A = this chain, B = another copy of it.
Amino acid sequence: MAEPIRLSKRDATRRENEARILAAAEKVFAEAGFGGATMQLIADMAGLPKANLHYYFATKEELYRKVVQNIFEIWLHAADVFDNAPGPVEGIGAYIEAKMEISRRHPEGSKVWASEVMHGAPVIQDYLETTLRDWTTGRSRLIQKWIDEGKMDPIDPEHLLYMLWATTQHYADFGHQIETLNGGRKLSEKQWKAAKDSVRRIILHGIGAL
């Protein structure tokens, strides 16, 4: 118990404050969009005076950019399960599972990302053109390999990826609509399982991998 972590009091509070601000910002940006969000509201939700926000993040854009970057990191990590899979059933199946879980656990982040892209990706255009493009071509090649090996039907890999993104993110981005159609109640554990199974089954069956 002597040295749990080597952190001065300064570094500790700095980390905690930054984390609180980022968490509050993610929620506010998700609920109101970039234009509708206010630094004051983020400050209140983080329990800090507004001026303190500007000490850690100079501008609203800088704070927003950090939020979007954090989300992008999470998404990229979700793709780890894709690689090293022997075939589409394992790879795509695990990817669906991972992304559905993200939609469930981080719906705010997903909404911020969706909002950013929908508005023309004003702050993360470079990420789309570099990291995301590389990621996409890499997975496309992997899918094409599975096709060549006869493990699934010949499907356009890019459109398949779009379909994976669309279906999984839908449960976060349109969660409110789904809840409303569900009688105003959040999806239960059983319903989430049914959602995952439906998506998994239709897609894997749809590409001839089952």
Contact = CB atoms under 8 A, between A and B. Distances in A.
B155 A166 contact: no
A51 interface: no
Interface stretch (A31-39, A77-85, A142-150): A31-39
Nearest to A180: B128
Interface in A13-34: 30-34
A52 interface: no
A176 B36 contact: no
Most buried by B among A30, A177, A203: A177
A118 B128 contact: no
Interface residues of A, number: 55
A162 B170 contact: yes
A176 B117 contact: yes
Interface string A107-130: 000010011011111000100110
A165 B155 CA distance: 20
Contact of A115 (B118, B129, B203, B205): B118
Interface in A51-82: none
Interface of A: 30-37, 111, 114-115, 117-121, 125, 128-129, 132-133, 136, 153, 155-156, 158-160, 162-163, 165-167, 169-171, 173-174, 176-178, 180-181, 194-195, 198-199, 201-208
- Complex A-B, nearest 4 residue pairs according to Cβ-Cβ distance, in ascending order: A35-B36, A206-B206, A166-B170, A202-B206
